[in-house]
Amino acid sequence: MGQKKQPAAAALSDPKKRRRVGFFAIDAGIEAKDCIKIYLVSSKEEVDASSSFCIDPVDLDSFFGEDGKIYGYEGLKINIWVSSISFHAYADITFESKSDGGKGITDLKTDLQNIFAATLVESKEEFLQTFSTQRNFIGSIVSGGQVLQQKTSNGHVASSDSNSVAASNVEVVRMVIGDTEAGPLYGQLIPLVFLLVDGSSPIDVTDPCWELYLLIEKKVDHQGEEHSLLLGFAAAYRFYHYPGSSRLRISQIMVLPPYQHKGYGRYLLEVLYGVAVSEDVFDLTIEEPLDYLQHVRTCIDVQRLLTFEPIQQAVNEAASHLKQGKLSKKTQIPRLMPPRSAIEDVQKSLKINKKQFLQCWEVLIYLGLSPVDKYMDDFVAIISNRVREDILGKDSGTTGKQVISVESDYDQEMSFTMIRSQPGEAACTVQLTDESQANQEEQLQKLVDERMKEIKLVAEKVSSHCV
């Protein structure tokens, strides 16, 4: 039995029998950074003011889903106000419409609480009240701390027993975590640490080996009352060092955005160096410093080393050896390393460890060349030789390490792997193609160029006596 077929034309002519298929666009979402602005304010009058300080840029992607996007909203705008008085936060959320566009609807309240935790208040009125109810929050906490150093209004620094204390308006206060109120204060700062310090994680506020160094500004209001304002802080861990000493390691250091690039970060580092010297710790180190922090640190250390008499002869001898000339033409280029006695003296007296001292040593030699252009080729040859030995090993021409370019989604120009020949193996066990050899040389040259740029920047800053 056959099935009766209806002509196609007849089927299309009857609108009731047409099949209708609808399509809708999948919600593409919106980048968190495109709809969220974070403001740091010190008074209720600054809330909603166009002149309020906006913290920018802030990496928010890691706090919103796997792709850093917000879904389900049209015309979304989030203004987050953070008080620099008590570090409470309030989020003002507005949007035109909300619907599931195929990717769900982001739970904004939960995501924001994951960032700001207990510091996030529910209402704007409650947030505004904190400027009066919490106005002495910082002052009451730091009153139990130890004032280490004070900076006067004319830029001079005085110790805590100086006669100029009364004229000061900026001071560094040390508080031991676990023994003081520093724990609750740090808890209020954690959201800003997450947002502003790359790769940070909270410190253990129950561990008494942690110390907070708080940079405090004393301000007098219109009523003549003095209030304390937090400009920044450093968190340092005090390790035991055998047989009866300790080591200080800076884990986090942050200057709040409105006060950055004004010398406060440098001042805080200088105070920490003062602590390391006065308390005779073994050394002071920084845990994975970012490039700018490392730059400031090196500028400070180079200036201290320039006036450190025990190493001046060694620096002069290294510079004189380089000035003899034609090092770049030699097959064996010397590294001009500092003597062991200099390394030991610097660590003992200035608390600068060997790794950091070697970074500064190259800058010291560069500063000792005059005119520097005359000796630049030889100096670059020394830096190039040092970089090559550090990466490939001293026997890079035969055995040792080999650098081979590899494909990577991270950075196509600076992606490589190193292979070390085993003892007794011939150099031919690792064969480099002409292309790989060229890539290796190109990558090494980029490292040399970056290092030369760093040396010149530090030398310029030190010579002008400012950072």
Strand order through the sheet with 226-241 = 157-159, 146-152, 168-176, 210-220, 226-241, 245-255, 284-286
From first CA to last CA, the distance across the chain in angstroms is 95
Q: Which two tokens stand for residue 150?
A: 């004070």
Helix (H) or strand (E) holding 236: strand 226-241
The residues, any chain, with a CB within 8 Å of residue 374's CB and separated by 6 or more, are none
Among candidate residues 225, 287, 344, 425, the one labeled active-site is: 287
With beta carbons less than 8 A apart as the criterion, state whether 349 and 341 touch: no
Number of CB atoms found within 10 A of residue 80's CB: 22
Residue 245: closest CA among 295, 197, 281 = 281
Is 344 part of the annotated catalytic residue set?
no
Residue 392: closest CA among 357, 416, 359, 368 = 416
Residue type, position 373, single letter: D
Cα distances from 411 to residues 406, 407, 414, in angstroms, run 10, 9, 6
Helix (H) or strand (E) holding 246: strand 245-255
Query: Peptide bond preceding 289: is omega within 30 degrees of 0, i.e. cis?
Result: no
Q: CA angle 231-235-237, nearest 5°?
A: 160
Rounded CA-CA distance 69/63 in Å is 9
The three-state secondary structure class of 115 is helix
The three-state secondary structure class of 80 is strand
The three-state secondary structure class of 207 is coil
The residues, any chain, with a CB within 8 Å of residue 387's CB and separated by 6 or more, are 444, 447, 448, 451
Catalytic residue IDs: 287
